[in-house]
């Protein structure tokens, strides 16, 4: 078993091109003994956003705090605390904080290309 308090994990800047005012915490992944999935916590400052991108793997998102929009090829979707979101592999997407407080969410991805370098 492995246990970590998320608020004590290192909060790192996301340096991917197109990201603005985004931080990530790696909570659970292969390095912590999770064989199949990784859990990350993202924090997006007011006005910040993740890059508009796509990748081959699905991911699941659970919004912990704040509000914003998720941009997809089908348009904008509001995002708020308590939302659970499935983003299929290959789907264009990004998250944009439109509120006055940080937008925080958990994001789970399969180990492999999504977690390389961690």
Residue 112 has pLDDT above 90, yes or no: no
Q: What is the pLDDT of residues 42-68, one digit of tens each?
A: 999 999 999 999 999 999 999 999 999
CA torsion angle 55 60 66 67 (round to 10): 60
- Global confidence as pTM: 0.94
- Buried-state track 88-108, b at ≥16 Cβ within 10 A, e below 16: eeeeebbbbbbeeebbbbbbb
Sign of CA dihedral 103, 64, 62, 82: negative
Domain range list for the chain: 10-59+84-105
Hey, what CATH topology would domain 10-59+84-105 get? Jelly Rolls (2.60.120)
Q: How far is Cα 58 from Cα 43, in angstroms, rounded to an integer?
A: 20
């Amino acid at each position: 078993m492995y246990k970590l308090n998320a608020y004590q994990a290192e909060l790192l800047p996301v340096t991917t091109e197109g990201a603005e005012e985004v931080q990530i915490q790696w909570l659970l992944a292969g390095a912590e003994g999770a064989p199949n999935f990784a859990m990350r916590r993202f924090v997006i400052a007011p006005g910040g956003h993740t890059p508009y991108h796509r990748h081959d793997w699905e991911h699941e998102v659970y919004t912990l705090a704040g509000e914003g929009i998720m941009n997809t090829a089908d348009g904008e979707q509001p995002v708020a605390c308590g939302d659970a979101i499935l983003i299929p592999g290959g789907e264009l997407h990004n998250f944009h904080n439109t509120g006055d407080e940080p937008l925080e969410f958990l994001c789970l991805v399969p180990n492999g290309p999504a977690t390389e370098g961690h």
